[in-house]
Each structure stands twice: as structure tokens, then as C-alpha cells.
Amino acid sequence: MPTVRFRGRAFECAHGAVLRDVLLAGDESPHNGASGVVNCRGLGSCGTCAVEVSGPVSDRTRRERLRLRVPPHDPDSGLRLACQTRVHGDVTVEKREGFWGQHGAEGRDGQP
């Protein structure tokens, strides 16, 4: 069974499980702040569950590719939508700052 590591915790899941569902089942959230309440509930349309994922996962779905092209996201950011990502092996997940989880280490204004 694959293991998902997130915020210092580890969750086992079935191969092919949806990452968002794995996190929610473990009482964790791929959302920041109010986006935990105001989101599309896994339909891939809001972009608030964007996370960094390292490890074997599914390819981006068409819906995910389209959503990640819409600001504030950037298709080259490497982010994935947890609701559209299926776990295929052991993975590590990181959530960035910001409502959509789009802010990296450079800070909220995009400057280093």
C-alpha cells in the first residue's frame, strides 16, 4: 500500500486513491484557511487544493491542466490539484501558502 506523507504524518492508502480523499480521511486538508469551506469539493474547478507532490502519481487530467492555466496558478509551477491526483506509490505532499496554495518560498508578493 502506498504511503502519503503530509505535515509530519503518514497515511496508507490504496493504489490509485485520490490524494484529496486520502488527506481528508486522515483529518488533514489540502486547503488553506477559508478555502477549506469555499472549494469545489473535488470537481477540479476551483484550484484551492493545489499542492506540491513528489513521488509516483497519475498524469495530470485534462481538467487539472486547464485549471492550472488560470491565474493565480501557473502551469509551470509543478503544482498538482489534490482532487485530480491519484497516488501510485509513496509520496510526499507539501502545501504552499495563500488561498490557492500558490505562494512559494519567495513570499506573497512574488519577490525573494
pLDDT tens digits, one per residue of 15-55: 999 999 999 999 999 999 999 999 999 999 999 999 999 99
The region, left, alpha or beta by phi > 0 then psi within -120 to 50, assigned to residue 81 is beta
φ and ψ at 63, to 5 degrees? -60, -40
DSSP-derived letter for residue 50 is E
pLDDT tens by residue, 97-109: 999 888 875 443 4
Q: What is the pLDDT of residue 112?
A: 37
The residues spanned by each domain of the chain are 3-94
Instruction: Tell me how far apart the alpha carbons of residues 41 and 77 are, in angstroms, rounded to a whole number.
Output: 23
Mean pLDDT, the chain, whole residue set = 92
Q: Distance between CA atoms of 38 and 17, rounded to whole angstroms?
A: 23
Q: What percent of the chain has pLDDT over 70?
A: 93
The CATH class of 3-94 is: alpha beta
Rounded mean pLDDT of 65-92? 96
